[in-house]
Amino acid sequence: MTNAPPTKAVSAATAGASRSEHSRGLLFGFLAYGLWGLLPLYFVLLTPTGAFEVVGWRVLFSLVVCVVLITATRKWGVLRAVLGQRRVMLTMGLAGLLIFVNWQTYVFAAMTGHVVEAALGYFINPIVTVLLGVLVLRERLRRIQWIAIAISLVAVIVLTVGYGTLPWISLVLAFSFGFYGLMKKRVGSRVDAVTGLTIETAWLAPVAIIQLVVVGSMSGLTIGTVSTAHTLGLLGAGLVTAVPLLLFAAAARRLPLTVLGLIQFAAPVLQFLVGVVILKEPMPVERWIGFSLVWVALIVLTIDMIASGRVARRASLEPV
């Protein structure tokens, strides 16, 4: 009986490790997007607290969680290095402002019966990201990408006519997160997920404190006044913010961008199901038509992404 050649054994071990990492990446990715998809139910359970108070506590408790994580992972040196980069800090401040607008709009939507409209925002987000690439980064789009954007615009028009008003929650969520992604792209790999969230929430902490003071003076704060479970729910707002982000970062390190782009639709699909099936939000005909058009646009965009990825890989394997 002969042993396998060392090179083949090493190759098999490497392939096995790669498959294992890919599987772990998929698990982390689905967990992250699954938690984001179920987040509306978490915020609904925090009633009678209003959206402004929830977001205020979310910012402050997220900062606390980040400080604990920075301490546990001994990354204070990394944080100090980033704090010394003025341009990066200003970019992260702007990113913080954008994510604050996104959080405020999302929590408001979840707590006022607009979860389906929030889901639409995250369905539209990939198309907005492509559009921002053209308008801000001067990227050139392929014809099929323009077709996807055109279909999405028709969907917004259909929904606007059906609602009798612009679906502003969807658009604010899509564009705020789209611009947030743009800011993060400018920072690139210089700032990891935990350090980034720490800086963003530190920038927002004064805003959150002012917001809580205003809420307290106008209607009174609810934390500690409803029940122990309710108080723990508000305290947990930091964890439900940080944990999916860390899972996403772990997935991003292990998965190709195309795979990550495909599984991101798990979050709005779950949000949509939560809104329609669990919270029983209305779905009139024009809403179904509008959503269907957005889904067609996403299918077109996904097919183009997969096809262009295959062409790029094929080109990289050709001899120079």
> Picking from 147-161, 197-211, 220-234, which range would have the lowest pLDDT averaged per residue?
147-161
Residue-level pLDDT at 8:
56
Residue-level pLDDT at 4:
56
Exposure string over 63-94, b if 16+ CB within 10 A, otherwise e:
bebbbebbeeeebeebbeebeeeeebbebbbb
Residue-level pLDDT at 317:
46
pTM for this one?
0.84
Share the mean pLDDT of the chain.
85
Mean pLDDT of 83-103: 92
> CA angle, 291 as apex, 275 and 127 as ends, to 5°?
110
> Picking from 37-41, 206-210, 257-261, which range would have the lowest pLDDT averaged per residue?
257-261
Q: Report the C-alpha gap between 34 and 187 in whole angstroms.
A: 27
- Using CA of residue 229, residue 235, residue 238, residue 243, what is the dihedral sign? negative
Q: Which residue has the higher pLDDT, 77 or 255?
A: 77
pLDDT > 80? residue 114 = yes
pLDDT > 60? residue 11 = no
Residue-level pLDDT at 126:
81
Q: Which residues contact 260 (CB under 8 A, 6 or more apart)?
A: 29, 251, 252
Q: Report the C-alpha gap between 188 and 61 in whole angstroms.
A: 26
Amino acid at 147: I
Provide the CB-side half-sphere exposure for 243 (13 A, CA). 11
Whole-angstrom Cα Rg for the chain: 22
Q: Where are the domains of the chain?
A: 35-313
pLDDT > 50? residue 320 = no
71 pLDDT tier (thresholds 50, 70, 90): very high
pLDDT, tens only, 126-180: 888 778 877 777 777 778 878 888 888 888 888 888 777 888 999 999 999 889 8
pLDDT, tens only, 208-220: 999 999 999 998 9
Provide the CB-side half-sphere exposure for 135 (13 A, CA). 12
Mean pLDDT of 114-125: 90
Mean pLDDT of 169-192: 86
DSSP state letter for 188: G
